[in-house]
Amino acid sequence: MMDIPAYETDNIFARIIRGEIPNTTVYEDEDVLSFMDLFPQSEGHTLVIPKKAEAVNFLDIDPNILGVLIQRTQIIATAINTALRPDGIRLIQFNGEAAGQTVFHLHFHIIPVWQNANMKPHADSSGNGQADPVTLQKLAERIKACL
């Protein structure tokens, strides 16, 4: 059985919400923040997080907040589809370290997929996985234009 750890208020996404760490924002309202993944698995890899809930994962979130979060995730995924024209889209969400979760604030990954394009590894902060901020900003602008 997976234990649900206590929410750590200094996790990287909590710090992004508080504005302590910059992000490349795609969408924001009072409940939800969406921004480009800094170590993208594909071009356009985007994250969607709740702003108010201190939830470490899917099992830990108020269902009403989850409802808003997944509705916004659909809107953002649709904009990514229109803006970037991928062949497919993966919607991914990891629960627990054993499952591959590395940041313990609930989030959905929206990962555009192109046939014949290699997918980079998950959460690869080891070396050359970090995206160029200018490239991320250009992608975010293209997605925002389709929201």
Among 5, 88, 100, 133, contact with ligand 5GP (rule: CB under 6 A): 100
- Is 35 a binding residue for ligand 5GP by CB under 6 A? The answer is yes
How many helices (H) and strands (E) in the chain? Answer: 3, 5
CB of 65 to ligand 5GP, least distance (A): 18
> In the numeric block, which tokens belong to residue 139?
């992608």
Among 32, 38, 56, 110, contact with ligand 5GP (rule: CB under 6 A): 38
Buried b (16+ CB within 10 A) or exposed e, 42-74: bbbbbbbbbbebebbbbebbeeebbebbeebbe
Contacts of residue 127, Cβ cutoff 8 Å, sequence gap at least 6: none
Among 4, 12, 66, 89, contact with ligand 5GP (rule: CB under 6 A): 12
- Is 23 a binding residue for ligand 5GP by CB under 6 A? The answer is yes
Q: Which residues bind ligand 5GP (CB under 6 A)?
A: 12, 21, 23, 35-39, 94, 100-103, 123
